[in-house]
Chain A
Amino acid sequence: MAYHNIIFTLNGEAEAVVVPSHMTLLQMLREEMVMTGTKNGCAAGECGACTVLLNGEPVNSCLVLAVECDGQELVTVEGLAHDSQLDPLQQALVEAGGVQCGFCTPGVLISARALLDRNPHPTEADVRAALVGNLCRCTGYVRIVDGVLAAAERA
């Protein structure tokens, strides 16, 4: 088994990790770095619970190899809040009641962050389309969509 030294930026901090070739980004985050905010719901790129930002783009981290992240920039749910202040999206999701069991929440927040970064004033249809890869079984999405729209309005 081949191992690789990789360096990357995670939530604004430089990191250096040794990873085997076949390790996924999700495994590296959860198992090597014990950054467990990113969730594993299917390991097949279908549920979106493991969504992270790779150079600003939302990706299913279960479908990305860790070695691909060498020299790249990563943001996970743990990197959304700054200086103990919630990201406006996190705050809006709290206020809208868009969280129930919370297992899909990290992926939802990352996909929504990516949406607002590229389109600060999305329509409801834009929000629904941006979240279509993030499965949620609890909320029925109503309050999640409300929360993202509220965050956009405030920005």
Chain B
Amino acid sequence: METTEKTPDLIGQSVDRLDVHEKVTGAAVFTDDLQFGRKLLHARIKRSPHPHALIKSIDISRALALPGVKAIVTGEDFPEHIGLYLKDKHIFARERVRFVGEPVAGVAAITEELAEQAVELIDVEYQLLEPVFDPEFGASPEAPLIHPDLENYEVPNFIFPQAGTNIANHFKIRKGDTERTWERCAAIVERKFHIPHIQHVPIEPHVAIAKVEQTGKVTLWAASQSPFAQRNLIAKTLGISQSDMRVIAPLVGGGFGCKAGVTMEAMPVAIATKVPGYPVKLRLTREEEFYTNFVRQGLVIKIKVGCDADGKLLAMENTMYWDGGASTEYGVNITRAGGYSSTGPYDIPNVKTDSLCVYTNHPIGGAYRGFGMSELHTAVDQCMDELAETIGMDKVAFHKLNCVRGGDILVTGMTLHPVGLEECIDKVAKAIDWGQKPPASAPNKRRGKGIALAWKAPAMPPNAGSSAWIELNEDGTATLGIGGQEIGQGTFTAVAQIAAATLGVPYESIRIAGPLDTQYSPYEWQTVASRLTWSMGNAVRAAASDTRRQILETVADAWDEDVANLDIVNGVVISYKSEEEQPLKEMVIYGLPNEDFTEWTGGPIVGRGMFMPTYVTGLDAETGQGDRAVVHYTVGAQAFDIEIDIETGKIEILKGVAAFDVGKAINPELVKAQIEGGFVQGLSSAVFEEIQLKEGVMQNPSFVDYRIATSADTPREIESIIVEVPQDDGPWGARGVGEHPMIPAVAALANAIYDAVGVRMEGPPFSAEKIYLAMLDAGIVS
């Protein structure tokens, strides 16, 4: 917007988090903390033990006879489909199960133990079908069909399912001519990688409580990144009006995408329809959390990339087989994002991409922090590292030669806005002392450095909107209504800063109207895609401007002055002309009297604002080309300095560095906290994490067997660097960064491992064992 005006002091100030005192004292309310009294019913779910089977019969009679069981539902009760993009899912399986853990029936009972017992008493007869576990095979004509009705599913016009196959979306890029370019390449790298499934692992498991009134009105309390999307999708599926459904969403104990869209939340609602008046609660166990809800889908990716003798990139072919799992309702858009960003942040004139979203009989792939991008960059940035070496160039010089810059025509034909990727590379290289390699600390250690880049655009419908309102209180404070969720990223704090700075009140004067409640919170599409600071930030800024206008007009009217002479500073309206002052207190509710108290002006102030991007265009189905594929890209770079013990294969991280171009950091310390947290989540995925699937069954669904990084595993030193090249339509130039810090981690670490010991692996996690065996294979150790 008006990027030329002076930036208020509060924008760019690292104030304390708005929610921090309640969080350190135990007062913060999460969904599981809500109290529902003695009539609360507990739900448990009967789940499929088979990856692929027909349901021949379900007998609930023994379970229903158990005293204390209040309701049992199955797929028979809920015939409609549900799904965010591709409507291919049922709340409970109908006719067929497609993954181990798929809900088949739901029970509500007076205690959780009874509900669990009832689940055991439900008898389901299955006829086994041949399963599909490999997405590459799944995409072939030989594979058994997992969704024979694919062609009948409702789908938006930017998703391209292939009827009669397991391909739920085929996104293509055909730019230039790769075939004719290979002969001009001085070096070509061709690689295939397997990226395993991983899990989001929020420390707060999913929990949802639903209650249906005798009138048919529905209330859902849920740990949710998407109260509005859940209201919309669940209401449609149940055949009720959106406004007859209310979603209340308290603070979220970690989301990372797994609490976006609709997953388990629909089940307690469905069960509650059978027991009006009773609240029904479903809380996933940690084991259920690991594989019955969204996971990050696996990926098989083949890349061929070439450059000329000077190192300039000429062509890339990229084929991605995404292991979408049993439903791709959300996953189809992940594969689309992987497609339109398939080059990574590199300027490549000739590109051929096939991004295939493939149904398998694995857990359902959903949004996970920067969806598609960590997986994609893991492959692309290792190939770039190898290509630079093959052509004999310094890797940083190679990255700087080829990285995207403002004005570049991107892979989709979109012209890139100004970005500071080169600055990010320079700063990361400097911070990691690129080009210098001090000796290892011991004879059995090898030292290495690696760098990788990242880019990501918000992946969402073209017209995902935000709105906000502000009402003033008697004490001069302002209550800010928003629909975006606080999931730990600090969005309540950032938008409070934006509101305070725009309105002219202290940061401490902003109250967030919470918990989010679709009955009064203003509409927000979803808390996903690193879009809130930018999109909701714009809506909040507009609402604060509207509020400010109303206040100033009231005072101008009362004082008979021109609005242009008035300002609000620190919660007081001042006139630069008459030098009069009027605190916001009271006047924002009661208005102002004229001089002889014969008339009043003004009244309770309520401001409103909204933002919706209007300029995103469609892409051609055959070429993936269009004017503007996305709203913007956030870019960055990351590097590691490591040592590897060649006797054990164990990695020690000496230092990590990351730089991201956030446009404008509204709260720099919160941005750095996102960079650090994402860095470690990425590192954790690089060295520890894998959902081990055997015949569709997860082998390691606990924290003991699925390790995530602990306090003992994280590097001593992580340097976070903020670069600020403003976004033309962001608040004071801001764009999002919540997801991005995770994206380059795996590739940066893989490149450092290669630098240290000269081995590359087919995919993460880079466990000590895997590194040791790779060194053994390569003859580095014996």
A positions within 8 Å CB-CB of B: 30, 34-44, 46-47, 49, 76-78, 80-81, 86, 90, 93-95, 97, 99-106, 109, 124, 127-129, 131-145
Is B605 at the interface (CB under 8 A from chain A)? no
**Which residues from chain A contact B704 at a C-beta distance below 8 Å?**
46
One digit per residue, 1 when the CB lies within 8 angstroms of any chain A CB and 0 when it does not, for chain B 232-257 equals 00000000000000000001111110
**Which residues from chain B contact A135 at a C-beta distance below 8 Å?**
201, 203, 703, 708, 710
A43 contacts B285, C-beta separation under 8 Å: yes
In the complex, the chain A residue whose C-beta lies closest to that of B716 is A124
Q: How far, in Å, is B106 (CB) from chain A's closest CB?
A: 20
Given contacts A34-B35, A39-B253, A101-B202, is CB(A46)–CB(B702) below 8 Å? yes
A137 contacts B201, C-beta separation under 8 Å: yes
- 17 further contact pairs, Cβ within 8 A, besides A102-B20, A103-B254: A34-B35, A36-B33, A37-B27, A39-B204, A46-B286, A90-B24, A100-B488, A100-B677, A102-B19, A103-B202, A105-B24, A135-B203, A137-B201, A138-B488, A139-B673, A139-B680, A140-B679
A94 contacts B711, C-beta separation under 8 Å: no
Q: How far, in Å, is A33 (CB) from chain B's closest CB?
A: 12
In the complex, the chain B residue whose C-beta lies closest to that of A94 is B20
Is B375 at the interface (CB under 8 A from chain A)? no
With beta carbons under 8 angstroms apart, the residue of A34, A35, A86, A128 that contacts B711 is A128
Is B676 at the interface (CB under 8 A from chain A)? yes
B677 contacts A42, C-beta separation under 8 Å: no
Interface-central residue, A40, A81, A86, A142, by most chain B CB under 10 Å: A142
Bound form: Cα–Cα A102–B704 in Å = 22
Q: How far, in Å, is B565 (CB) from chain A's closest CB?
A: 40
A41 contacts B203, C-beta separation under 8 Å: yes
In the complex, the chain B residue whose C-beta lies closest to that of A81 is B25
One digit per residue, 1 when the CB lies within 8 angstroms of any chain A CB and 0 when it does not, for chain B 651-680 equals 000000000000000000110110011111
Is B26 at the interface (CB under 8 A from chain A)? yes
Is B489 at the interface (CB under 8 A from chain A)? yes
**Which residues from chain B contact A35 at a C-beta distance below 8 Å?**
26
Cβ < 8 Å to A, chain B residues 198-256 = 200-205, 251-256
Bound form: Cα–Cα A140–B677 in Å = 4
**Which residues from chain B contact A104 at a C-beta distance below 8 Å?**
203
One digit per residue, 1 when the CB lies within 8 angstroms of any chain A CB and 0 when it does not, for chain B 21-33 equals 1111111111011
Bound form: Cα–Cα A142–B30 in Å = 24
B708 contacts A106, C-beta separation under 8 Å: no
B702 contacts A49, C-beta separation under 8 Å: no
| 24 A-B contacts (beta carbon < 8 Å) | A36-B32, A36-B33, A37-B26, A39-B32, A39-B253, A41-B203, A46-B703, A47-B203, A49-B203, A86-B25, A90-B25, A94-B17, A94-B20, A99-B20, A99-B23, A100-B673, A102-B19, A102-B22, A102-B251, A131-B711, A133-B710, A137-B708, A138-B677, A141-B714
Cβ < 8 Å to A, chain B residues 696-731 = 702-704, 708-712, 714, 716, 718
In the complex, the chain B residue whose C-beta lies closest to that of A48 is B203
One digit per residue, 1 when the CB lies within 8 angstroms of any chain A CB and 0 when it does not, for chain B 274-311 equals 00000000000110000000000000000000000000
A109 contacts B24, C-beta separation under 8 Å: yes
Q: How far, in Å, is B203 (CB) from chain A's closest CB?
A: 5
In the A-B complex, list the 3 residue pairs whose CB atoms are closest, starting with the nearest. Answer: A37-B26, A101-B488, A103-B253
A102 contacts B703, C-beta separation under 8 Å: no
Q: How far, in Å, is A27 (CB) from chain B's closest CB?
A: 10
B286 contacts A103, C-beta separation under 8 Å: no
**Which residues from chain B contact A39 at a C-beta distance below 8 Å?**
30, 32, 203-204, 253
A100 contacts B490, C-beta separation under 8 Å: yes
A37 contacts B286, C-beta separation under 8 Å: no
Given contacts A100-B488, A144-B711, is CB(A43)–CB(B202) below 8 Å? no
**Which residues from chain B contact A78 at a C-beta distance below 8 Å?**
25-27
A94 contacts B24, C-beta separation under 8 Å: yes
Give the A-B pair count, Cβ closer than 8 A.
Answer: 164
**Which residues from chain A contact B669 at a C-beta distance below 8 Å?**
97
B677 contacts A41, C-beta separation under 8 Å: no
Q: How far, in Å, is B498 (CB) from chain A's closest CB?
A: 19
**Which residues from chain B contact A95 at a C-beta distance below 8 Å?**
16
**Which residues from chain B contact A41 at a C-beta distance below 8 Å?**
203-205, 286
**Which residues from chain A contact B25 at a C-beta distance below 8 Å?**
37, 77-78, 80-81, 86, 90
A137 contacts B286, C-beta separation under 8 Å: no
Bound form: Cα–Cα A19–B500 in Å = 49
Q: How far, in Å, is B637 (CB) from chain A's closest CB?
A: 18
Bound form: Cα–Cα A99–B19 in Å = 9
In the complex, the chain B residue whose C-beta lies closest to that of A102 is B23
In the complex, the chain B residue whose C-beta lies closest to that of A105 is B23
In the complex, the chain B residue whose C-beta lies closest to that of A86 is B24
In the complex, the chain A residue whose C-beta lies closest to that of B489 is A100
Bound form: Cα–Cα A102–B709 in Å = 17
In the complex, the chain A residue whose C-beta lies closest to that of B252 is A101
Main DSSP-derived SS at the B contact region: loop
Bound form: Cα–Cα A78–B710 in Å = 25
**Which residues from chain B contact A80 at a C-beta distance below 8 Å?**
25
In the complex, the chain B residue whose C-beta lies closest to that of A145 is B711
In the complex, the chain A residue whose C-beta lies closest to that of B207 is A40
B positions within 8 Å CB-CB of A: 16-17, 19-30, 32-33, 35, 200-205, 251-256, 285-286, 487-490, 669-670, 672-673, 676-681, 702-704, 708-712, 714, 716, 718
B680 contacts A140, C-beta separation under 8 Å: yes
Given contacts A101-B487, A102-B251, is CB(A44)–CB(B286) below 8 Å? yes
Bound form: Cα–Cα A78–B17 in Å = 20
Bound form: Cα–Cα A105–B87 in Å = 38
Given contacts A39-B253, A41-B204, is CB(A143)–CB(B681) below 8 Å? no
Bound form: Cα–Cα A57–B20 in Å = 26
Q: How far, in Å, is A78 (CB) from chain B's closest CB?
A: 5
**Which residues from chain A contact B17 at a C-beta distance below 8 Å?**
94, 97, 99
**Which residues from chain B contact A37 at a C-beta distance below 8 Å?**
25-27
Bound form: Cα–Cα A37–B672 in Å = 27
**Which residues from chain A contact B679 at a C-beta distance below 8 Å?**
140
**Which residues from chain A contact B21 at a C-beta distance below 8 Å?**
86, 94
Q: How far, in Å, is A117 (CB) from chain B's closest CB?
A: 18
Q: How far, in Å, is A151 (CB) from chain B's closest CB?
A: 12
B677 contacts A102, C-beta separation under 8 Å: no
B487 contacts A42, C-beta separation under 8 Å: no
**Which residues from chain B contact A77 at a C-beta distance below 8 Å?**
24-26
Q: How far, in Å, is B721 (CB) from chain A's closest CB?
A: 15
B16 contacts A43, C-beta separation under 8 Å: no
Q: How far, in Å, is A144 (CB) from chain B's closest CB?
A: 7
**Which residues from chain A contact B35 at a C-beta distance below 8 Å?**
34
Bound form: Cα–Cα A100–B711 in Å = 15
Q: How far, in Å, is A127 (CB) from chain B's closest CB?
A: 8
Q: How far, in Å, is A11 (CB) from chain B's closest CB?
A: 10
Interface-central residue, A39, A78, A100, A129, by most chain B CB under 10 Å: A100
**Which residues from chain B contact A106 at a C-beta distance below 8 Å?**
26
Interface-central residue, B23, B32, B488, by most chain A CB under 10 Å: B23
In the complex, the chain A residue whose C-beta lies closest to that of B678 is A140
Q: How far, in Å, is B738 (CB) from chain A's closest CB?
A: 11
Bound form: Cα–Cα A132–B712 in Å = 6
Bound form: Cα–Cα A142–B489 in Å = 15
Bound form: Cα–Cα A47–B285 in Å = 13
**Which residues from chain A contact B255 at a C-beta distance below 8 Å?**
101
B254 contacts A134, C-beta separation under 8 Å: no
A132 contacts B711, C-beta separation under 8 Å: yes
Q: How far, in Å, is A68 (CB) from chain B's closest CB?
A: 21
Q: How far, in Å, is B155 (CB) from chain A's closest CB?
A: 33
Q: How far, in Å, is A123 (CB) from chain B's closest CB?
A: 12
Interface-central residue, B251, B680, B702, by most chain A CB under 10 Å: B680
With beta carbons under 8 angstroms apart, the residue of B23, B203, B254, B714 that contacts A142 is B714
A101 contacts B203, C-beta separation under 8 Å: yes
Q: How far, in Å, is B53 (CB) from chain A's closest CB?
A: 30
B711 contacts A134, C-beta separation under 8 Å: yes
**Which residues from chain B contact A134 at a C-beta distance below 8 Å?**
711
Bound form: Cα–Cα A145–B673 in Å = 13
Q: How far, in Å, is B260 (CB) from chain A's closest CB?
A: 15
A141 contacts B680, C-beta separation under 8 Å: yes
Q: How far, in Å, is A55 (CB) from chain B's closest CB?
A: 20
